Amino acid sequence: MDKFLQWWKRDKRYVTLVKSVLLAALPVVCCLVYCAAQGKTVGQVYLPASEWNDELFYYKQVEGIIHYGYPQGYFGFNESHALKLSFAAWSPVLVFPWVIWGLVFGWNLLSPVLCNIFLMALCCFLFVWLVKPDWKQMGILVFLFCLYYPFVRYMLSGMPEVICFTMVILFYGLAINYQKGEKAYKLALLFIMAGIMALMRPYLILFMLLPMYFWVKRSGARGLAGSVAVLGATGGLYAAIKHYLGAEYFTPLFFTDWITAFFERGILGGLRFTLGKLRNTGVLFLRYGLEGFRSGMAAGAFFDGYLALLAVLAVQSILDYRKIRPLTRLGRAGKGKAAAAAPEDKAEPEMTQDEQKKIRDRLIVEAHLALCYVAMVTAVLLMYKLTEGSKHLLTFMAAGIFIVALMETRFYKKAVFLGAVFVFFYSYKAVSAYDYQVPFATEPLRQQVEEWTGSLEGSMELCRENAPGFENVVIWVTYDNTPDGAAATAWQLLYGLPEGYGISCCEPEFVLQNFDSLKSRYLFCPSGGQIDVRCREAGYAQIRRDKTAVLYRLDEKED
């Protein structure tokens, strides 16, 4: 008991606990306040009201994992499917916190939202406990957290971005804590976290560079060899997951033409191609950023916020390096006669070893994150469509906010600058409902989804034999041409599918070209479209129809 009391009083851990609890309450308060400002509650967040169709895939896949270990029908695109099991194009590792939540608390339409809020609250608690920020740093963190609207938007969604946010933030919290004690188990945890993040999304392997640096610094050549082995094993495991558990997407998830250019055109030709692509996409990147400033276009606004955070990280890294550089030169000069010939170094204000270490440790974290920022924006320019790639930058921005809050500041210039950027782009210019509006339930939509759910549960029989298989797959036709023009399919109604069913997102051209050889048992399309007409002409059994959509069974015909 005495040892516990000594541990509790050491470094005023009771104060740290109070700070941890206060910051843990921040995500909850932000979500409650936002919903209240809309005249709603968190309980009224309703995923079928969202326009983000990725949420449907994530939700139904997790539902299938919780109930059956894996979805009993394939998730894919134009009837593609994984070589093993039944996951879509993204790594199933990405949603493992949701699976744990669903196994413990059950899974319904509000579950991913509640889990996201819990994860962010837990992340805030653990970050403060690991880092032990002072009250000024706490104030800056609260200030920037509240103004960075994507935190609230993604907590109140069915997207797994918050899982990435929390993993990266906790990674840096543990890295800062490691620098204070350099325990071997903390280094091992850093490698494990970095490995999990890389298996979630491959570009997050950038964060493995930091524990690699720590290990090399700690153990020299042995640390380098071990780091390279861990890096290679992680990359190989992700490649295996992608190969065996990933379904082929409509188009490549990322472009590799700049890599193949080196094999096809030689080193100089490949270099010219890569630099030319960087120049062309870089110009488009800047145009998007300008459009974000003018009209609030979300992709451009994300680019602008990203560049603002990168500028702060880069400037602070330079300033911290300049603080310790004279000391480094002085240490080298002191080994010889040159020490007497360095009056400019002697003029530097003396710092204690603890102060030197504090600045050096902070510089390592700042410089690593700045390096990740540069590497990621380069990857976006070379490998992603800019509109889609912009959302991947949000994870880096979330981590940047927590690191910036720990920087030394006298007049709060960095916080004020970033706060102004966040308010301008993510509040004042946040005019797109698609990108910024939290989905709340409306009574007509809720009633429609519930009617479909009740109807489908009684008329769709899940086939457990030889699962996963196409017997448990519903084709979701993205849109179709109707007499009134092109009509998007009301895919939100697919939330009503029974547990375990897979969804194959298909283009209408694919369905029409392969109409007589489709593998899936069910087809879901707009009412009155060309595909609806073809299904009626073929005599396929109709399971349910309303004015917006219709669901057919393709292996059964009506009498």
The phi and psi torsions of 488 (rounded to 5 degrees) equal: -75, 145
Q: Give the count of beta carbons closer than 10 Å to the beta carbon of residue 407.
A: 19
Q: How far is CA 341 from CA 73, 322, 328, 334, 394, in A?
A: 76, 20, 15, 10, 49
Q: Judge whether residue 538 has pLDDT over 50.
A: yes
Calpha distance 161→391 (Å, rounded): 9
Q: What is the pLDDT of residues 259-314, one digit of tens each?
A: 888 888 888 998 999 999 999 999 999 999 999 999 999 999 999 999 999 999 99
All residues at 6 or more sequence positions from 276 whose CB lies less than 8 Å from its CB, including other chains:
none
Q: Judge whether residue 336 has pLDDT over 70.
A: no
Long-range contacts of the stretch 528-532 (C-beta < 8 A, 24+) = 528/482, 528/483, 528/484, 528/487, 529/477, 529/480, 529/481, 529/482, 529/487, 530/480, 530/481, 530/482, 531/477, 531/480, 532/480
Question: Using 50, 70 and 90 to split pLDDT, how confident is the model at 415?
Answer: very high
Residue bearing tokens 């413990």:
104
Lowest mean pLDDT among 113-117, 131-135, 455-459, 553-557: 553-557
Calpha distance 265→259 (Å, rounded): 10
Longest distance between any two alpha carbons in the chain, whole Å: 102
Calpha distance 42→31 (Å, rounded): 7
Q: What is the pLDDT of residues 306-333, one digit of tens each?
A: 999 999 999 999 999 988 876 555 445 5
The pLDDT, as a whole number, for residue 337 is: 46
Beta strands across the sheet bearing 502-506: 76-77, 502-506, 473-477, 522-526, 549-557, 540-545
Return the structure tokens found at 29. Answer: 């308060």
Q: What is the pLDDT of residues 151-185, one digit of tens each?
A: 999 999 999 999 999 999 999 999 999 999 889 99
All residues at 6 or more sequence positions from 368 whose CB lies less than 8 Å from its CB, including other chains:
209, 210, 213
pTM here? 0.92
Q: Judge whether residue 73 has pLDDT over 50.
A: yes
As a three-state string, the secondary structure of 498-548 is CCCCEEEEECHHHHHHCHHHCCCCEEEEECCCHHHHHHHHHCEEEEEECCC
β-strand 76-77 against 485-488: which pairing, if any? unpaired
The pLDDT, as a whole number, for residue 559 is: 60
